[in-house]
């Protein structure tokens, strides 16, 4: 199974069409938030439809720069992963949208207490012993993927605890544009491909319960 992760699209649909030949090879394309740039459902629809022109399956979480009606629209379309798990082939895919509080008062932010509740809701849908991947706009704390300029870590501690406990195969994330890299928490491989306009995406290949994860460039 091939999974491709895109993050921080920020409404730029022309970039998606440039990588259509890549998206068409994936079993599923996972959108890890900030589908729009501080916009609403109509703009999210244009972005998702651009991906759908090339991809067999699209699943998504909203980001902190997406307004609440984006989450509602994803739910209406049946592709929302926020607070839920979907079974896809022989794996599960769980999701967490938005971010913990930032200094910028963006549209979709919440507390660590809410992160715990959201992840509990997602975990409730996990079939026992089913391998799964996690799609979260917010990266987990204290990894290479949550470091802002200056080196400070700004990830979620509750999200890290969830990963330590459940050990998903991989965590597709975004949010921190400057942390384009991979890392791991225990057996879980974490990948942040950064803002899509910079030309990178996450590529994962799953065989049985083994997974390879890397960042690839389409430029």
CATH number of the domain to which 19 belongs: 3.60.21.10
Contact assessment for residue 202 and residue 191, using Cβ atoms and an 8 Å cutoff? yes
The count of domains in the chain is 1
Query: Which distant-in-sequence residues (6+ apart) come within 8 Å of 29 by Cβ?
Result: 3, 4, 5, 6, 23, 51, 55, 57, 58, 59
User: Which residues form the domain of 170?
Assistant: 2-217
- Each residue's pLDDT expressed in tens, for the chain with a length of 219 residues: 999 999 999 999 999 999 999 999 999 999 999 999 999 999 999 999 999 999 999 999 999 999 999 999 999 999 999 999 999 989 999 999 999 999 999 999 999 999 999 999 999 999 988 999 999 999 999 999 999 998 999 999 999 999 999 999 999 999 999 999 999 999 999 999 999 999 999 999 998 768 999 999 997
Q: Give the number of other CB atoms < 10 A from CB of residue 117.
A: 13
Full-model pTM: 0.97
- Sort residue 95 into left (φ over 0), alpha (ψ -120 to 50) or beta: beta
- Exposure string (b/e) for 168-183, b if CB count within 10 Å is 16 or more? bbbbbbbbbbebbbbb
């Amino acid at each position: 199974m091939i999974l491709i992760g895109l993050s921080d699209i920020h409404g730029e649909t022309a970039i998606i069409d440039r990588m259509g030949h890549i998206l068409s090879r994936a079993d599923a394309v996972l959108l890890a938030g900030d589908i729009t740039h501080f916009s609403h459902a109509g703009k999210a629809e244009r972005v998702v439809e651009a991906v759908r022109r090339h991809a067999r399956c699209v699943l998504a979480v909203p980001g902190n720069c997406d307004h609440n009606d984006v989450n509602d629209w994803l739910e209406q379309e049946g592709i929302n992963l926020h607070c839920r798990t979907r079974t896809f082939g022989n794996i599960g895919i769980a999701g967490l949208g938005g971010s913990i509080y930032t200094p910028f008062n963006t549209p979709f932010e919440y507390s660590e207490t809410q992160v715990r509740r959201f992840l509990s809701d997602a975990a409730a849908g996990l079939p026992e012993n089913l391998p799964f991947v996690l799609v979260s706009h917010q990266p987990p704390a204290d990894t290479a993927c949550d470091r802002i300029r200056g080196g400070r870590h700004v990830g979620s501690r509750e999200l890290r605890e969830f990963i330590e406990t459940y050990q998903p195969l991989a965590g597709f994330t975004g949010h921190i544009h400057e942390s384009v890299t991979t890392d791991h928490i225990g057996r879980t491989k974490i990948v942040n491909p950064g803002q899509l306009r910079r030309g990178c995406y996450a590529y994962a290949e799953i065989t049985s319960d083994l997974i390879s994860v890397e960042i690839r460039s389409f430029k």
